[in-house]
Amino acid sequence: MTRDELTAWATRNGWALDRWGHLKKEFDNGTHRLKLSRIAARHEISTPFGWARLASGYLKNLHLTADGKLAGMNR
């Protein structure tokens, strides 16, 4: 998966780019973000102490499942 493919999937599913180029989305349990680098993506959640990493994975290992969910991140 490329960074552009991940960004396209995320925007179709309600994620929005912030001013730093990260994808953010509000959920019932807080703000989540996908922090993108050149070769990897990190799924993080906002806490009172800062951002905590939930999962991460290299873009080459990420893929979409048959039901349209993102897979390939490690916890």
Average pLDDT for the chain:
92
How large is the average pLDDT for residues 55-59? 94
**In terms of C-beta density within 10 A (0-12 exposed, 13-18 middle, 19 or more buried), how is residue 3 classed?**
middle
Q: For the chain, what is the domain count? A: 1
- From CA 68, how far away is CA 8, in angstroms rounded? 12
pLDDT of residue 30: 84
Q: In the chain, what percentage of residues exceed pLDDT 90?
A: 81
Q: Do the Cβ atoms of 21 and 27 come closer than 8 Å?
A: no
pLDDT of residue 56: 95
What is the span of the domain harbouring residue 27?
3-71
- From CA 14, how far away is CA 32, in angstroms rounded? 12
pLDDT digits (tens, 9 = 90+) for 24-42: 999 888 899 999 999 999 9
Q: Is the pLDDT of residue 65 over 90?
A: yes
